[in-house]
């Protein structure tokens, strides 16, 4: 499915989760390979992080929100928006990633830790292990990681808005709403989309191409060719 570049929620809500696991993981203390690759592409460190008393990371393409509490008690975090370049037609991929990082202040991160506690998400099982949680072939996938110096857990929740009155899904959605308000997503997401430098970009399986003039299309193609040559 293709969405016009400015239809923000179309772009977000049609992000496919094909290729990501729906069944309960055998070990929620092991980061899935696809998530580890995402972290590597965004230069995010693996969890747990030495020196942090606690660290959470909440992800749903195209964003990652994370916060940590240092041993001295201070809070910090960041809101990362990102997308991958998609090569038109039969062009070879560039593997370029465009990202913007917004630091989060101490009060915001402290509030998000409080929201995690209010929604009791640390005690919530992986979505695939929740009785009645339905799995779909596409939609959205939320991932929550939580780490301390001695423990780590990663859990995923597909399409919580499509789970009816399931209370576990309501807890995930409640936290997501609090996160979006806290990171000012309604302002920052549209600005991020306007600033994407790629002619075509991909987020979790959904490809969006901007409408370009013939001259700009040729210029964009030459720029991709130059970039590929520098990467050889």
**Alpha carbon 125 to its chain's center:** 20
How confident is the model at residue 26, as a pLDDT? Answer: 58
Residue 77 pLDDT greater than 90, yes or no: yes
| Contact (CB, 8 A) for 39 and 51 | no
Residue 164 pLDDT greater than 50, yes or no: yes
How confident is the model at residue 25, as a pLDDT? Answer: 55
How confident is the model at residue 68, as a pLDDT? Answer: 96
pLDDT tens track for 56-69: 999 998 999 999 99
Whole-number mean pLDDT of the chain? 86
Which domain range does residue 60 map to? Answer: 8-231
- Does residue 124 form part of some domain? yes
Residue 16 pLDDT greater than 60, yes or no: no
- Does residue 196 form part of some domain? yes
52-60 and 141-148 beta bridge pairing? antiparallel
As a dihedral over the C-alpha atoms of residue 62, residue 133, residue 175, residue 79, rounded to 10 degrees, the angle is: -20
- Does residue 15 form part of some domain? yes
| Contact (CB, 8 A) for 112 and 65 | yes
Other CB atoms within 10 A of residue 52 CB: 17
DSSP 114-136: HHHHHTT-TTSPPGGGSTT----
Residue 50 pLDDT greater than 80, yes or no: no
178 CB-near residues (< 8 Å, 6+ apart) = 111, 112, 115, 119
Closest CA to 131 of 167, 159, 162, 176: 167
Residue 205 pLDDT greater than 90, yes or no: no
Least confident range from 1-10, 46-55, 77-86: namely 1-10
- Does residue 1 form part of some domain? no
Q: Into how many domains does the chain fold?
A: 1
- Does residue 3 form part of some domain? no
- Does residue 110 form part of some domain? yes
């Amino acid at each position: 499915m293709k969405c016009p570049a400015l239809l923000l929620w179309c772009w977000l809500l049609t992000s496919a989760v094909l290729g990501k696991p729906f069944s309960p993981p055998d070990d929620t203390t092991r980061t899935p390979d696809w998530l580890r690759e995402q972290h590597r592409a965004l230069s995010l460190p693996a969890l747990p992080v030495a020196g942090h008393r606690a660290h959470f990371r909440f992800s749903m393409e195209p964003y990652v929100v994370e916060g940590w509490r240092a041993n001295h008690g201070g809070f910090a975090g960041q809101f990362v928006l990102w997308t991958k370049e998609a090569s038109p037609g039969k062009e070879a991929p560039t593997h370029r990633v465009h990202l913007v990082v917004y630091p989060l202040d101490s009060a915001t991160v402290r509030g998000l830790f409080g929201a995690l506690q209010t929604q009791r998400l640390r005690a919530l099982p992986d979505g695939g292990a929740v009785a009645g949680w339905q799995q779909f072939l596409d939609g959205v996938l939320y991932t929550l990681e939580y780490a301390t110096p001695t423990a780590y857990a990663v859990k995923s929740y597909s399409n919580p808005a499509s789970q009816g009155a399931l209370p576990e899904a309501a807890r995930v959605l409640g936290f997501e709403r609090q996160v979006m308000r806290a990171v000012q997503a309604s302002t920052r997401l549209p600005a991020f989309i306007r600033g994407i430098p790629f002619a075509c970009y991909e987020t979790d399986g959904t490809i969006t191409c901007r409408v370009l003039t013939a001259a700009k299309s040729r210029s964009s193609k030459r720029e991709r060719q130059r970039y590929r040559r520098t990467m050889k």
